[in-house]
Amino acid sequence: MFKKLFGLDKKTKSGEELPKADGKDTLLSPVNGEIVPLSEVPDPTFSKQMMGDGIAVMPTDGHIVAPVHGEVIQVFPTKHAVGLKTVNGIEILIHIGIETVALQGEGFKAFVKEGSKVAPGDKLIEFDIDVVKEKAESLITPIIITNGEAVESMEKYENQAAKAGETAVMMLTSK
């Protein structure tokens, strides 16, 4: 009972304990594809870092997985984006495609909800890549750090192929 009361029952979907906060987060790619700089995203909200810094991935399939140990803090009603908070308090937005909110959830399926504890590789969202290619402005998927003030340093690993849940895309050190 005390564990639940004080939030000490932090287990992932797969039942693993979340690691202790140590100030460092290695973000793995949430999707298979090619890692590109944010400047290549065809939307100034992302390319000009209005929401925060990060990277983007051009997906080769429709499977989004957790890039870190943490907690789901938001699943958008249209399921085109998910927000996570790492064990070190860094907030991450994974935004699938550009102008995908207009699809009103068509082709998207969420496997987590707000409050879900996740580990790298846990399934978050699946989407129909063909629907997004056909109906959205772009398939490119920004991964944004939305609370940059909490980040001491950020190292990005761009311009490489990425395997979901395995390839490091960023190394973050929290303040």
Catalytically annotated residue among 63, 69, 80, 95:
95
Q: Is the pTM of this model over 0.75?
A: yes
Helix (H) or strand (E) holding 94: strand 91-95
Query: Is 95 marked active-site?
Result: yes
Mean pLDDT of 21-45: 94
What's the confidence (pLDDT) of residue 15?
A: 52
Specify the pLDDT at position 1.
28
Band the pLDDT of 2: cuts 50, 70, 90: very low
Task: Annotate 79-118 with b (16+ C-beta within 10 A) or e (fewer).
Answer: bbbbbbbbbbebbbbbbbbbebeebeeebbebbbeeebbb
Tell whether the model's pLDDT for residue 135 goes beyond 60.
Answer: yes
Task: Quick: pLDDT tens for 140-170.
Answer: 999 999 999 999 999 999 999 999 999 999 9
Instruction: List the domains of the chain with CATH numbers.
Output: 2-15+22-174 (2.70.70.10)
Instruction: Say if residue 44's pLDDT is above 60.
Output: yes
Residue 112 has pLDDT above 80, yes or no: yes
pLDDT higher than threshold 50 for residue 3 = no
**Are 130 and 92 contacting, i.e. CB atoms less than 8 angstroms apart?**
no
pLDDT range class, residue 18, cuts 50, 70, 90: low
